[in-house]
């Protein structure tokens, strides 16, 4: 049974969370029926919705203003484009220049048609409106030309093409991924780990010779696979030639891993992200091992983990080929809260963490013809994005734990699953924010929070819960949202069954 929570400043790890991962799904069919109050019109868009009859929802570019405002509310620092499997056969040249001249192409990842109505310049424009940085995923066949188009400042072909298309200054895109899930059988660009490591290393050298200011993200698997160990060993090498003789730069800045969690049993579903915490720790050790084996000097910054696809997703209940439109429950919202707790606790290893995805497809936001519906998972994401910024704080939890079967099964022997899952941060202006997720479905816990002493400004308490574990939000009813109240820090705090609680106080 929980007896105490204590919090002390521990790691001086600067953190940036809630980085949005995004696919442009502006033509998408719904897996839900009309009774579910989710759009069923396949022409209705997510970010870009020019055919919507409600023109008040659109800006002058055809972008959804409500989605833009939601992204601004999240303070999203990075958005990934053009997504994952799609990128293997994507040619960026199809999406630049006059729209009426852009070709429609067969889309082989999801067996659709890509209209190319949204391309590089439109995406960059959207990022500037939102106030976020772009993160582009490459295929190796078109990488150098795309980098030149986005970042080139010289009198060269693709830089001049960008100027011809109306953008004089370079976009200076910082983040570039060296492929996506190249280990997967579903990938058109599938390779063996040996072939990928060789190709990724060669392209990394070429890309950094063209623009040494960029950050390159290696394609990993799940952090614990043979693929991760092999490509890290063969790509985290000290290469001064490609880096202009620098002894303080690296070809590979981050290593990407992807994990989705889900289970039909609500408790197992909620705690499943704890397995990702162990994967982060293992992957961080593999990065250290590669540096040791390759004699990488200490002057070269340590490669961090780019968790650029994470979320709750059950492909059985939300098939990708039908749009992957998840209807998220309270259990899913708590799972997202634990995902975010994991990233706070492991922030010293994380360079970026991107929820996949932002609108309509396995997403916290769903567009309708008339507006925006915020799913259960939106609310923990919003609280973390607003308040869990600054410096991580170590937390010690004295608690009972779930000891049953886990999803995945290996996690039962590899990670703890306390009833109370906790993370905390302190901001630069002295506000402490602590999140406590109670995964016990029937029992609340009233406990002392040692070290919490709100000052004259008082404190705040935010609670996310619902009447049942499987409640969902609709346009008409917000079954799950945020209950906000004042908190003076006195006495015990009650953590309700199957809930997320955020406590905030100023030191």
Which residues are part of the catalytic machinery?
181, 309
* Tokens, residue 36: 């579910």
∠ CA(410), CA(413), CA(415), 5° rounding? 95
- Pair of tokens at residue 219: 């394609």
Say if CB 113 and CB 107 are below 8 A apart: yes
| DSSP letter string, 434-485 | EEEEE--SS--EEEEEET----TT-EEEEEE--SSTT-B--SS--SS--EEE
Q: Which helix (H) or strand (E) holds 207?
A: helix 193-210
Q: List, as one string, the DSSP characters of 232-300.
A: HHHHS---SGGGTT-SS--S--EEEEEEEE--SSHHHHHHTTHHHHHHHHHHHHHHHHHHHHTT--TTS
Q: Is-contact 22 64, C-beta < 8 A? A: no
* Alpha-carbon dihedral 4, 466, 259, 383, rounded to 10 degrees: -70
Of 397, 376, 387, 384, nearest in space to 495 by CA: 397
Work out the burial of residue 432: count CB atoms within 10 Å of its CB; fewer than 13 is exposed, 13-18 middle, 19 or more buried. Answer: buried
Is the CB of residue 216 less than 8 Å from the CB of residue 180? no
Look up tokens 């999803």; give the residue. 407
C-alpha distance across the termini of the chain, in Å: 28
Instruction: Answer yes or no: are the C-beta atoms of 484 and 461 closer than 8 Å.
Output: yes
Query: What's the farthest any 2 CA atoms get from each other in the chain?
Result: 68
Do the Cβ atoms of 162 and 119 come closer than 8 Å? no
- Look at the chain and count its residues: 507
Question: Which are the contacts of 491, defined by CB distance < 8 A and separation ≥ 6?
Answer: none
Helix (H) or strand (E) holding 355: strand 350-356
Task: Give the integer Cα–Cα distance in Å for 274 and 295.
Answer: 32
Question: 């919705």: which residue's tokens?
Answer: 49
């Amino acid at each position: 049974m929980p007896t105490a929570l204590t919090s002390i400043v521990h790691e001086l790890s600067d953190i940036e969370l809630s980085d949005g991962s995004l696919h442009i799904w502006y033509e998408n069919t719904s897996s839900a029926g009309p009774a579910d109050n989710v759009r069923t019109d396949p022409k209705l868009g997510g970010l870009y919705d020019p055919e919507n009859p409600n023109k008040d929802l659109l800006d002058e570019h055809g972008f959804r203003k409500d989605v833009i405002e939601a992204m601004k509310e999240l303070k999203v620092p990075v958005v990934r484009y053009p997504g994952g499997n799609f990128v293997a056969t994507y040619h960026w040249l199809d999406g630049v220049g006059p729209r009426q001249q852009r070709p429609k192409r067969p889309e082989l990842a999801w067996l659709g048609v890509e209209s190319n109505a949204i391309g590089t310049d439109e995406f960059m424009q959207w990022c500037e409106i939102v106030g976020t940085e772009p993160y582009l995923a490459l295929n190796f066949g078109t990488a150098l030309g795309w980098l030149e188009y986005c970042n080139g400042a010289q009198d060269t072909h693709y830089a001049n093409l960008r100027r011809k298309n109306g953008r004089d200054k370079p976009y200076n895109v910082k983040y570039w991924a060296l492929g996506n899930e190249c280990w997967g059988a579903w990938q058109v660009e599938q390779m063996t780990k040996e072939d990928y490591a060789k190709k990724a290393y060669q392209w990394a050298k070429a890309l950094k010779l063209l623009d040494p200011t960029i950050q390159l993200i290696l394609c990993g698997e799940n952090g614990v696979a043979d693929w991760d160990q092999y490509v890290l060993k063969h790509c985290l090498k000290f290469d001064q030639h490609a880096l202009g003789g620098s002894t303080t730069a690296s070809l590979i800045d981050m290593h990407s891993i992807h994990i989705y969690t889900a289970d039909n049993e609500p408790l197992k579903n909620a705690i499943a992200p704890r397995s990702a915490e162990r994967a982060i720790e293992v992957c961080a050790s593999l990065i250290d091992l590669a540096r040791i084996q390759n004699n990488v000097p200490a002057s070269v910054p340590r490669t961090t983990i780019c968790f650029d696809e994470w979320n709750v997703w059950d492909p059985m209940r939300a098939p990708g080929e039908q749009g992957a439109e998840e209807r998220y429950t309270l259990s899913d919202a708590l799972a997202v809260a634990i995902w975010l707790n994991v990233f706070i606790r492991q922030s010293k290893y994380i360079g970026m963490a991107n929820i996949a995805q932002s609108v309509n497809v396995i997403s916290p936001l769903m567009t309708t013809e008339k507006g925006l519906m915020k799913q259960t998972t939106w609310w923990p994401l919003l609280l973390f994005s607003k308040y869990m910024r600054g410096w991580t704080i170590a937390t010690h939890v004295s608690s009972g734990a779930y000891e049953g079967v886990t999803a995945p099964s290996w996690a039962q022997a590899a990670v703890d699953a306390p009833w109370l899952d906790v993370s905390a941060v302190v901001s630069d202006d002295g506000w402490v924010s602590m999140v406590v997720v109670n995964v016990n479905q029937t029992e609340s816990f009233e406990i002392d929070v040692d070290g919490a002493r709100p000052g004259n400004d008082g404190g705040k308490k935010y609670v996310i819960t619902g009447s049942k574990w499987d409640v969902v939000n609709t346009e008409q009813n917000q079954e799950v949202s945020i209950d906000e109240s004042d908190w003076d820090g006195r006495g015990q705090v009650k953590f309700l069954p199957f809930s997320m609680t955020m406590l905030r106080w100023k030191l």
